């Protein structure tokens, strides 16, 4: 796996492995990970992580498109307070009030103001977008954050508690999975 850390400019931390059965680092998103309007199903992928520090007390997961034509990117999903004993999430854990998320986990609204995973949907003419799935190993058992705050607020708080992170970056294009094929 090629090492990539979209947060390196804030200070490098060790990286650990983050994988999925439906996508590879640098490869395309699977069809289901596109939004409904892009021919997908808004289904969050399965994710598994390993090699994180033994002193990890919790995890946070963010899914971000830095290439969205907004000037500030686009947050697709943000989950925090994932217990330290959890090292994977199953396919479809990104639905609202998901029973597939571990007890104690908290979800912030995405850019559509929904507490869910929202699939990719790059607009025409904006090129290939990168979708950064990042699991942050944290040095605190939980973060006390307003659930109506933005994922950027989560990112700010995560910054000060990250021991290590795993990054899986997939790509997407306008027209969804059909256009990527």
Average pLDDT, the chain: 93
Burial 17-36 (b: 16+ CB within 10 A, else e): ebbbebbebeebbbbbbbbe
Mean pLDDT of 119-138: 96
Residue 93, in any domain of the structure = yes
**pLDDT: which is higher, 9 or 137:** 137
User: For 36-82, what is each residue's pLDDT tens digit?
Assistant: 989 999 999 999 999 999 999 999 999 999 999 998 899 999 999 99
Residue 56, in any domain of the structure = yes
Q: Which domain holds residue 126?
A: 8-180
Domain count, the chain: 1
At 103 the pLDDT is 96
Structural tokens at position 10: 């804030």
CATH number, position 22: 3.90.280.10
Distance of alpha carbon 123 from alpha carbon 68, whole angstroms: 8
Work out the number of other CB atoms within 10 angstroms of the CB of residue 153. Answer: 15
Enter the pTM of the model: 0.94
């Amino acid at each position: 796996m090629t090492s990539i850390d979209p947060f390196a400019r804030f200070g490098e931390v060790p990286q650990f492995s983050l994988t999925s059965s439906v996508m590879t680092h640098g490869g395309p998103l699977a069809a289901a990970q596109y939004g409904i309007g892009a021919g997908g199903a808004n289904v969050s992928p399965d994710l598994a992580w390993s090699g994180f520090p033994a002193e990890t007390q919790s995890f946070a997961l963010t899914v971000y498109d830095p290439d969205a034509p907004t000037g500030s990117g686009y947050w697709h999903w943000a989950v925090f307070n994932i217990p330290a004993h959890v090292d994977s999430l199953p396919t479809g854990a990104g639905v609202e009030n998901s029973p597939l998320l571990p007890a104690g986990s908290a979800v912030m609204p995405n850019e559509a103001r929904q507490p869910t995973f929202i699939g990719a949907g790059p607009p025409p003419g904006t090129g290939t977008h990168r979708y950064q799935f990042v699991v942050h190993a944290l040095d605190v058992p939980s973060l006390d954050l307003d659930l109506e705050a933005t994922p950027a607020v989560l990112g700010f708080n995560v910054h000060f508690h990250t021991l290590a992170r795993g990054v899986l970056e997939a790509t997407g294009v306008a027209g969804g999975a059909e256009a990527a094929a």
